[in-house]
């Protein structure tokens, strides 16, 4: 079966920092014009939104208001319609305990937020290649 590479793909970003959201969006724009980014700050309706959007990939910030990213991974992975969507946990901190928890709950990858824009583009491009999105 040949994949349709012209089809638009969706990435869902769960991020509460608007600067990080903007940088992430810019990085995706530089990598591919075939990827749409959705972001939600309405975390109370997250599962419903994800089910409607059906993203190919989800990036989740570890440190979020109310709950942490691990709690959201648990919710997503327990939902039958969402369980197969790859989840990438990303954060400014790289605590071994946080990393282990993320993998234990089903994260495909845990990456530290890069310090430069070029590093961000490189990290995101690697993740997209690993998930056959570019």
**Tens digit of each residue's pLDDT (9 = 90 or more) over 28-83:** 999 999 999 988 766 678 888 898 888 999 999 999 888 889 999 999 999 999 99
CA-to-CA dists, residue 38 to 52, 54, 96, 99, 110, angstroms: 12, 11, 29, 24, 20
Domains contained in the chain, number: 1
**Residue 62 domain flag:** yes
CATH number at residue 87: 3.40.50.2300
**Residue 109 domain flag:** yes
**Residue 2 domain flag:** no
What pLDDT is stored for residue 97 in this prediction? Answer: 92
Cβ pair 68, 90 in contact under 8 A: no
What pLDDT is stored for residue 22 in this prediction? Answer: 92
Summarised one tens digit per residue, pLDDT across range 83-101 is 999 999 999 888 899 999 9
**Residue 90 domain flag:** yes
What pLDDT is stored for residue 42 in this prediction? Answer: 65
Q: Name the pLDDT band for 2 (thresholds 50, 70, 90).
A: very low
Residue numbers of the domain that contains 101: 9-130
**Residue 1 domain flag:** no
Res. 4: pLDDT tops 60: no
What pLDDT is stored for residue 107 in this prediction? Answer: 96
DSSP letter for each residue of 106-127: T-SEEEEPPSSHHHHHHHHHHH
3-state SS, residue 76 = helix
In terms of residues, how long is the chain? Answer: 134
Summarised one tens digit per residue, pLDDT across range 105-117 is 999 999 988 778 9
What pLDDT is stored for residue 94 in this prediction? Answer: 80
């Amino acid at each position: 079966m040949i994949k349709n590479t012209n089809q638009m793909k969706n990435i869902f970003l769960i991020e509460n920092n608007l600067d990080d959201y903007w940088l992430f969006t810019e990085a995706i724009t530089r990598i591919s014009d075939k990827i749409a980014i959705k972001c939600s700050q309405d975390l109370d309706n997250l599962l419903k939104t994800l089910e409607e959007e059906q993203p190919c990939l989800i990036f989740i910030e570890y440190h979020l208001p109310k709950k942490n990213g691990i709690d959201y991974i648990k919710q997503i992975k327990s939902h039958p319609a969402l369980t197969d969507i790859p989840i990438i946990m990303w954060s400014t901190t790289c605590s071994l305990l946080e990393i282990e928890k993320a993998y234990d709950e089903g994260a495909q990858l845990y990456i530290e937020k890069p310090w430069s824009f070029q590093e961000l583009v490189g990290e995101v491009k690697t993740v997209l290649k690993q998930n056959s999105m570019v």
